[in-house]
Structure 1
Amino acid sequence: MTKQETVSISKHFTEAGLELIEQAVQDITFGSLTLVVQDSKVIQIEKLEKIRICDQQPKAASKTVTQVAVGAALRTRILQSVSGMEYGKVAIQIQSGQITQVERTEKYRVGKFMGLNGEGI
């Protein structure tokens, strides 16, 4: 992990928070994981798991080299997605145990405008 990634982790969430996200992604076969960002910090994780009756397969108990590489790539992608975000959400879509999409929705807080609706005139 680079120094820049370490700074990003401490700003947005802790190492334990990243491990929690990685574990949640590994546990979901079909569904999504949404990270809620407020004041530049991940404050909430929403986990939505869909259970498909026809696609039930036993999960492997041990981590493979591929899973470790995916974990590192996932960390990098999450850090990129939340970097610079003050308010918003990052949604990770998962299908068949694979991440298929990462969506970033950023919200901006706007102060009171002068002159809007006749104010300040």
Structure 2
Amino acid sequence: MAKQDEVVSGKYFSDAALELIEQAVRDISFGSLTLVIQDSKVIQLEKLEKIRICDQQAKGSAKAAAKEPGGTGIRTRIIQSVSGMEYGKVAIQIQAGQIMQVERTEKYRVGKLTGLHGDGI
């Protein structure tokens, strides 16, 4: 892992939490993980796994596909997706054991905005 990734990951979650997230990504063949971020910390992990009855044979091949070379691909994607976020959610969509899409929803606290009541306008 690059030094900058270590600094960013330390700000958002501990190594144990990052390992838990990586393991959850590897365990899901079809589904999603949602990371909830508050005060620049990942405070919650929501896991939704879909079980496809017709694709039971593909499960073993999907697990093999989830193992990216060097083992850093998943970690890097997770760190990049949460970096710079103070409040919000990051939803990681997984299909056939691979990350297919990352949705980032950032929220801003209204109390920190200026110009809400005409001041500064």
- TM-score range with shorter-chain normalisation? 0.7 to 0.9
| Greater displacement, 75-84 / 104-113 | 104-113
Q: Cα offset for 1:46? A: 0.3
Q: State the partner residue of 1:59.
A: 60
Q: Deviations over 1:50-75 (max 9, x none)?
A: 11111113537xx96x7142741111
Secondary structure (helix, strand or coil) at the match of 2:73 reads: helix
Q: Give the superposition deviation at 1:110.
A: 1.1
* Preserved CA contact (<8 Å) 2:68 2:74: no
The farther-off stretch of 87-96 and 1-10 is: 1-10
**Match of 1:26, as an amino acid?**
R
SS in 2 for 1:59: helix
Aligned residues: 114
* Deviation beyond 2 Å, 4+ runs, structure 1: 57-60, 68-71, 112-116
Structure 1 residue 78, shift from structure 2 partner:
1.1
Q: Distance in 1 between matches of 2:11 and 2:79?
A: 10
Structure 2 counterpart of 1:36, which letter?
V
Correspondence list, 1:34-53, <5 A: 34-53=34-53
Corresponding residue for 1:114? 117
Unaligned runs of 5+ residues in structure 2 are none
Equivalent position of 1:3 in the other structure: 3
Q: Secondary structure at the match of 1:84?
A: coil
CA deviation map 1:64-94 (0-9, x unaligned) = 6x71427411111111111110001111101
Could you list the runs of 5+ residues in structure 1 that have no partner in the other structure? 117-121
% same residue: 71
